[in-house]
Structure 1
Amino acid sequence: MIDHRLRTLRVLRELGTVTAAAQALHLTPSTVSQQLRQLVRDLGVELLEAEGRRVRLTPAAHTVLRHADVLDAQWERARADLAEHRSGTSGQVRFCSVSSALAALVAPAAALLRAEHPGLAVHMSEKDSEDAAHLLLSHRADIAVVIPSEQVPGPDDARFTRTTLLDEPQDLLVPAGHPLASGGAARLADAAGEAWIGCPGRPDQHQLLLAACAAAGYVPRIAHEANEWFAVSSLVAHGFGIALVPRLAPLPPEDEAVRVPLRGGAVPKRRLIAFVRRGSEGWPPIARGMDALRRVSGQR
C-alpha cells in the first residue's frame, strides 16, 4: 500500500550505495536506479547527489524520508489493526540476532512460540548488530536482538521501537587452577597484572573491556586476540591469558577454563535490546515474538 520506491529510498539511506541497496532488496542495481529516477520525476525534486562511489541524499530527499518513515509506521499499525480481525494463530515472525543472544534468548523464545502457537512459523538468523536496521527496513526481519553501538539506531530514531531485554553481567574467564578462581568471585582490580585475550572483532565487547579496566585503575595488557568465544576459551584454557566474557556467551564445559563472577564496585554489563519497525509491535506474530523474548529474558 505504500509506494515501494519509498522503501528503496529508505534502504539506500541506510546502506549508502545503489549496489548495497539492491542486494538488500533482492533487486538489480539497474532496477533500483530506475525506481529512484521515476521517484525523482514524479516528485519533481532531486533526491541524490553523486559522492565518489556512494550517493548523498539531498535535503529534499531527507524531507521525503521523514514523511516516508511516518507513512511506514502508520501502515504497520494498519496491518496490526487488520490482523485483529483474523484469528492471529498463524503467520510468520523472523528474528535476526547477534550470536550469543541467538543461543541464549532467541532460540528459547522460538521454542516457546512453537509450543504455544504451533501454527506460527518462526525463522531465525545470526546477524551482526549493524545489519539489523536495513534487515528490518527491507522487511527481511521483524525483530532484531542487538547490542547498542554507534552502528545501531538510537532510542530517538522514529523508525523503530526499542525494548531493553536485559543487562548482562560480565565474568572473568581464567584457566582452571588460576588463583583468581580460588575465592569463587574476584574483583577486576585483582587482574591488573594479567595478560588478556582481546576481542577487536567485537568492538562493543573490546570497548567494554577497556572501559571496565580503566574504571578499575589500569589499562589491560592485550597479549592475544580472538573473536569467537570457543577460540577465546581455548586460549584461556591453554594459559595464554584471561578474558572478559558475557554471562550468556556459550562456552565449552568448564574443565579447563573457568568462569569467575566479578564483585565489588560496578560490575561491567552488556545491554541487549530488541527493536522492531515502529507501528509493527501490535501485529500478532511480532507481539507474540516480543512477549516470548521478554519472558525468556526475565528468567536470566
Structure 2
Amino acid sequence: MLDPRLKILQAVDYYGTVTAAAAALSYTPSAISYQLRQLSELLGVELIEPSGRGIKLTPAARTVLRHAAIMRAQWELAQSELAETVDEPSGPYTLCGFSTASTQLLPYAGKTLRDRHPRLRVRLVQADPAECFRLLQMEEADLALVMVTADSPPLDDLRFDQQLLVDDPLDLVVPANHPLTSRRRVTLADAADEPWVVGTPGGAYHQLTVTACVAAGFTPNIAHQADEWETGAAIVSQDMGVMLVPRLWLLSSEWAVTRIRLSGEPVPARKIVAATRKGAARHPLVAETLELVKARCETLYSTPP
C-alpha cells in the first residue's frame, strides 16, 4: 500500500497545482503543502520548486513518481493474486465509461455482476475518457471503458494497463429518402459532397468524424454542430445533412433517418479500450467484467441496422 503522501505527490503531478490537487482530494492547500514537506524531509530531496507564479515538480520528484508507479503496480498485482483465493467477491467495485459504454455496455455488466455476487457493491459512473483515467489514478474507479483519443495516455504509460476491447465501426446516417439508401454498397467517400453534422471542435466526436473523412480522401463540409447523437439524428431527419455514429449506439425509431453500414477498406471505426491501474488487469472481477462486456458487444453487433 502506497504512503498517502506519495498519492498526494501524484495528485499534484496530475492536476498541476497544489490548489487543484487539494480541491480534488478534499484537503486544504496548506495540508497538501505540509504533506509534501514531510515527504521531502523523509526522502532528503526537494520535490517542488517555484515556477513563475506557481510551482513545478523537481527532477527528484519525477524519479519518486516513476518508482511510486512501479510500487503501486506491484500492490495492485498482489491484490489481484489474493482475490483469486477468495470464493466470493465483496465490497465496492466501480466501473466507469464514456457515454455509449455507460449506456450500452456497463449497465448489463453491472447488473449481471450484482446478481452473481450479492456481496459486491457495483457502482457505475459515466465520464469522458480523460475523467475515466483520473478516476482510475485516484482509485475512485476499478475499471474504465474508454474511447481512444489524441489525448489518451500512451499504451506504455506506467500508471495503467490498457487492452483493446473492440473496434467499434462507424455507420453513416442519412435522411430516410436519401439516394444512398438505394445502393447495395456505400463507402464513406460517397458522402463527400454532403453537408455534415459533427461535434463541437476540440471534442472527441468532432475529431472522430473529421479523421475518418480525411482518411477517406475528403474534408467534410461542416454545416451543423451537435454533441449528442439524438440531436444529430434530429438534424439529419430534416434533410439537413448526414452524420457518422458508432455501431454501439442504438438509433431511435423516432427519427426519419436510415443507418448505412459502410463498405470499403478500412471501414472507419473508433477503438475502445479497457483500462485499469497497472497491475490490476489480472483481477478476477476485471476478467469477469470484460467477458460480459465482450458478450454484450457481440449481441449488439449482430443486431441488424
TM-score (ref. length: structure 2): 0.91
- For residues 27 and 181 of structure 2, what CA distance do their matches in structure 1 show? 54
Which residue is equivalent to 2:191?
A: 191
Q: Is the 8 A contact 1:97 1:106 kept in 2?
A: yes
Do residues 251 (structure 1) and 220 (structure 2) align?
A: no
Question: Alignment length, in residue pairs?
Answer: 300
Q: Where does residue 242 of structure 1 map in the other structure?
A: 242
The separation in 1 between residues aligned to 2:199 and 2:245, in whole angstroms, is 10
On the 8 A contact 2:69/2:159 being kept in 1, the answer is yes
Cα distance between partner residues in 2 of 1:298 and 1:26: 41
1:33 correspondence with 2:27: no
Secondary structure of the structure 1 residue equivalent to 2:105:
helix
Equivalences for 1:210-225 in 2 at 5 Å?
A: 210-225=210-225
Summarize deviations over 1:229-249 as a string: whole Å, max 9, x none. 111111111222111111112
Superposed CA offset, 1:145-175 (max 9, x none)? 1111232211111221112110000011111
- 2:42 is matched with 42
- CA distance 1:32–1:298, shift in 2 (3 Å): farther
- Give the match for residue 68 of structure 2: 68
Distance in 1 (alpha carbons) for counterparts of 2:69 and 2:51: 24
Cα offset, 1:38, TM superposition: 1.3
Which residue identity does 1:276 align to in structure 2? T
Q: For residues 79-98 of structure 1, what are the structure 2 equivalents within 5 Å?
A: 79-98=79-98
Find the aligned partners of 2:186 and 2:113 in 1 and give their Cα distance. 38
Equivalent residues of 1:202, 1:227 under 8 A apart:
no
Question: Which residues of structure 1 form unaligned runs of 5+?
Answer: none
- Kept in 2, the 8 Å contact 1:24–1:134? The answer is no
Paired residue type of 2:169: P
Q: Is the 8 A contact 1:93 1:286 kept in 2?
A: no
State the partner residue of 1:142. Answer: 142
Q: Which amino acid aligns with 1:156?
A: D
| Residue 263 (structure 2) aligns with | 263
After superposition, where does 1:160-239 map in structure 2 within 5 Å?
Answer: 160-183=160-183, 185-200=185-200, 203-239=203-239
Q: Flag the 1:155–1:148 CA change in 2: closer, same or farther, 3 A.
A: same
For residues 34 and 184 of structure 2, the distance between their equivalents in structure 1, rounded to whole angstroms, comes to 63
Query: Displacement, 1:53?
Result: 5.5
**What is the deviation of 1:210?**
1.9
Residue 59 of structure 1, CA deviation: 0.6
1:50-129 counterparts in 2 under 5 A? Answer: 50-52=50-52, 54-129=54-129
Give RMSD over aligned pairs.
2.0
CA–CA distance in 1 between the matches of 2:215 and 2:286?
39
Matches of 1:59 and 1:73 in 2, distance apart?
A: 22
Quote how far apart the aligned CAs of 1:129 are.
Answer: 0.5
Does the residue aligned with 1:214 lie in a helix, a strand or coil? helix
What's the offset of the Cα at 1:202?
6.4
The more displaced of 200-209 and 105-114 is: 200-209
* Structure 1 match to 2:153: 153
Structure 1 counterpart of 2:3: 3
Aligned mates of 1:98, 1:283 — CA distance in 2: 22
Matched AA of 2:91? G
Preserved contact between residue 95 and residue 141 of structure 2 (Cα < 8 Å): yes
On the 8 A contact 1:146/1:272 being kept in 2, the answer is: yes
Judging changes above 3 Å, is the alpha-carbon distance between structure 1 residues 196 and 54 closer, same or farther for their aligned structure 2 residues?
farther
1:227 is matched by which residue type in structure 2? Answer: D
- CA 1:183–1:119 in structure 2 vs 1: closer, same or farther (change >3 Å)? farther
Q: Distance in 2 between matches of 1:98 and 1:251?
A: 17
Kept after mapping to 2: 8 A contact 1:93/1:289:
no
Tell me, which stretches of 5 or more residues in structure 2 are unaligned?
Answer: none
8 Å Cα contact 2:205/2:227 also seen in 1: no
**TM-score of the pair, normalised by structure 1:** 0.92
- Counterpart-to-counterpart distance in 1, 2:259 and 2:208: 17
Higher mean C-alpha displacement, 224-233 vs 250-259: 250-259
d(CA) in 1 for partners of 2:149 and 2:52?
27
SS of the aligned residue for 1:272 comes to strand
